[in-house]
Structure 1
Amino acid sequence: MQQRDLANGKIWFNEALLTEDPNACFDIAYWQQQDRVIGSAQGRGTTWFIKGEKTEMALRHYRRGGLFGKLVADSYWFTGWQKTRSLQEFSLLQKLHEQGVKVPAPIAARAIKSGFTYRADILQQKIPHSQDLVGLLSQQTLSENLWHQIGQTIAQMHQAKVNHTDLNCHNILLEQQQQVWLIDFDKCYQQSGKGWQQGNLDRLLRSFNKEVTKRNIHFNQDNWQALLAGYRAK
């Protein structure tokens, strides 16, 4: 990880994956002028998908959710560069990636300080030809082997001592080579012990059941047991 100091902020980046100018890469206009924007997705804000020289990338600006987010959209209390959400997510993705867990490779992160607060952005690998489990299960069933793989991937993350505080079926992707990926590690962290791991699984099960009611996705208890079998085997 390389670091570049700005007058009022810092940029951290992986020079092996980012050959473009780190100072400009968080400005969507920079990519639009080069006709490198290949799509977008809406969440709390817009995530832009970009064709980089080395890999396809996803650019996201950190925004707050909920009622407080309507009052303070994208500012966070500054307590040190190491505690900025962008660097923490970048560092966590890097650790997981190095341990072989299938997560997007971190490419660049930025934090800009203004008074007592900061704003942040992150640029990470876009998983090509992938779809989240909700989209897939709305259309089809998954094999028992794939449910095993999902459980095994979650187990790998837990073996790396990472607590995914928002593990849900939208944050699990399956790509065309039938590989399982985990995404969205904002506000996640490493934690010792094992007591928290069941909470991750409980949250995931609630999300599946919610989508069964909401979208009638193809999910049942046999699928869940297959996921758990893969998780325990790993």
Structure 2
Amino acid sequence: MGKTTAIAATRQPFRDERGQGAIVFDAARWPQAAPRWLDPAAWAPPATPVVEGGRGGAWFVESGFGRGVLRRYRRGGLAARASRDRYLWLGEDRVRSFAEFRLLASLRSQGLRVPSPLLAGYWRQGPAYRAAIVVERIEGASPLAACLDHPGAAAWTATGRAIARLHAAGVDHADLNAHNVLLDPAGDAWLIDFDRGRRRAPAAGWREANLARLSRSLAKLAGPGRDGWRQGFRQLRQAYEQTFHAALARPDAVGVGR
């Protein structure tokens, strides 16, 4: 089963050369957390860029809390033409890093396999802000993307179960793709990158949209004529349906089981 973890967030305002802002952090795991740790240049040993998946802006880091991933919030698509990393200020409750910290903490308390949030923060400058977050690193994990040519792998079943438990908990993952599903050495699936994730009633429409997004991601990575992953995805869907309906029947056990 996933480990149930209670995370109490500590908030701390600050002002530095980048602007006025605030951080929230898990003081039990990282009592020395500070705004400077949201800058990849501050780390020793040096922060190492994450090269696989995503739009860049992520680094592997290491400190007293263990190993983590620092991620700066960045836009993609057409929005990036206006600004790569600035977001309209709509109040602290709407800050993306804080929202992701809260959601991850809540999911950890339910025993779901997501990274523990360690530190989140923002810098405000006028009507805009920048944001970043540090979460724990899933040790020894590899992305579902690595299973494209292994349709019989147990990873597909584990992934279907993990997504089903997330959906049964009423969480819509805004960017469910083949790099945001990680398989650990024990064969368990973890879901990462919950920027813009939100809680909703578990309706079929958005659940199917999540799964369709994952399917498109796999198809894009595979390219034409490389269709072995489709068998794996059918296995994923079967595990998803079984686990989702079982979880709805036992809402107290959403985070339980493999």
- Whether TM exceeds 0.5 here: the answer is yes
Deviation at 1:72, TM superposition (A): 1.0
1:125 to 119, 128, 136: 136
Deviation track 1:61-104 (CA, whole Å, cap 9, x = no partner) reads 11111233133121111011010111111111111111111111
> For residue 216 of structure 1, what is the aligned residue in structure 2?
226
1:22 to 34, 38, 50: 34
Return closer, same or farther for 1:162/1:112 CA change in 2, 3 Å cut-off. Answer: same
Tell me the C-alpha RMSD between the 2 structures.
1.9
Tell me which amino acid in the other structure corresponds to 1:172. V
Give runs of aligned pairs for residues 133-152 of structure 1, distance below 5 A: 133-138=144-149, 140-143=150-153, 145-152=154-161
In 1, the alpha carbon distance for the partners of 2:197 and 2:21 equals 23
> For residue 234 of structure 2, what is the aligned residue in structure 1?
225
In 2, the alpha carbon distance for the partners of 1:91 and 1:104 equals 12
Please state if 1:3 is matched with 2:15.
no
Give runs of aligned pairs for residues 1-234 of structure 1, distance below 5 A: 1-7=9-15, 8-31=20-43, 34-37=44-47, 39-42=48-51, 43-138=54-149, 140-143=150-153, 145-195=154-204, 196-213=206-223, 216=226, 218-221=228-231, 223-234=232-243
| More deviation, 111-120/14-23 | 14-23
Matched residues, number? 228
In 2, the alpha carbon distance for the partners of 1:40 and 1:217 equals 31
In 2, the alpha carbon distance for the partners of 1:28 and 1:213 equals 34
Identity %: 33
Deviation at 1:20, TM superposition (A): 2.9
In 2, the alpha carbon distance for the partners of 1:179 and 1:189 equals 23
Is residue 130–residue 175 contact of structure 1 (8 Å, CA) maintained in 2?
yes
Tell me which amino acid in the other structure corresponds to 1:14. D
Deviation at 1:36, TM superposition (A): 4.9
The SS at the match of 1:229 is helix
Structure 1's consecutive aligned runs of 4 or more residues displaced over 4 angstroms after TM superposition are none
Tell me which amino acid in the other structure corresponds to 1:133. L
Deviation at 1:217, TM superposition (A): 6.9
Is residue 26–residue 118 contact of structure 2 (8 Å, CA) maintained in 1?
yes
Is residue 134–residue 217 contact of structure 1 (8 Å, CA) maintained in 2?
no
Deviation at 1:214, TM superposition (A): 5.7
Structure 2: tracts of 5 or more residues without a match: 1-8, 244-258
Deviation at 1:157, TM superposition (A): 0.4
Is residue 25–residue 33 contact of structure 2 (8 Å, CA) maintained in 1?
no
Is residue 19–residue 53 contact of structure 1 (8 Å, CA) maintained in 2?
no
Is residue 33–residue 119 contact of structure 2 (8 Å, CA) maintained in 1?
no
| More deviation, 12-21/122-131 | 12-21
